[in-house]
Amino acid sequence: MLMLVGLGNPGAEYAKNRHNIGFMAVDAIAARFSFAPYRKKFQGQIAEGVIFGEKVLALKPETFMNESGRSVAACAAFYKIPAKDIIVLHDEIDLECAKVRVKRGGGHAGHNGLRSIHDHIGPDYARVRFGVGHPGDKDQVAGHVLKDFAKGDAQWLEKVLDAISENAGLLIDGKDSDLMSKLADAVKPPRASKPKPEKDADGGEGDGV
């Protein structure tokens, strides 16, 4: 069994915050693959499902971001899921909006949710980093991530959530490069088609004047 952990803060007032993109992504995956309804357990909300033959547990900790590790550790211990089989989906201020990167192991880069998970299960889990942009001033970071996505973000956000759910099988299979390519393609603007040259009355190409 694998565990997908979406990070965020519980409550309607936080639901559309940039900090809650992890919750949004896990919800999109659970909906796409018709997971069982969420139920309260391990200080969070859990749902079970199957993604291309692999049993998967979705978890949304309700401990608030800074204590996410308590919920993750409790759930992992109960189901005997090692850190290497845990994938955490979260916001990332050091990536531009709509950029997504997959990383396995390594540091927490100052993210409070990841810091808590490190403290409880160590660093050997995978993480999917969803870019939400940087406000430009470190003193404004908390306000930035705890604000709702701007109206202008709606289009790319919908595309990213659709793409992560549609391609969740690549994530489950560890095909990280393929997944990142799919997500990048999903948010690329369509290429402008070149106008065809006009034809003269005799069938030849004109000068377009």
Residue 15: domain span: 2-187
pLDDT in tens, the chain (209 residues): 999 999 999 999 999 999 999 999 999 999 999 999 999 999 999 999 999 999 999 999 999 999 999 999 999 999 999 999 999 999 999 999 999 999 999 888 889 999 999 999 999 999 999 999 999 998 999 999 999 999 999 999 999 999 999 999 999 999 999 999 999 999 986 555 555 555 555 555 444 43
Q: Are 180 and 102 in contact (CB under 8 A)?
A: yes
Q: Are 179 and 104 in contact (CB under 8 A)?
A: no
The total of structural domains in the chain comes to 1
**What Å distances lie between residue 113 and 72, 122, 163, CA to CA?**
11, 13, 24
Instruction: Write out the catalytic residue numbers.
Output: 19
Helix (H/G/I), strand (E/B), else coil: 128: strand
We report the CATH number of the domain holding residue 107 as 3.40.50.1470
Written as six digits, the tokens of 102 are 């997959």
At 116, the amino acid letter reads: S
Please indicate, yes or no, if residue 195 is contained in any of the structural domains: no
Please indicate, yes or no, if residue 203 is contained in any of the structural domains: no
Angle at CA 128, nearest 5°, toward 37 and 138?
A: 115
Please indicate, yes or no, if residue 9 is contained in any of the structural domains: yes
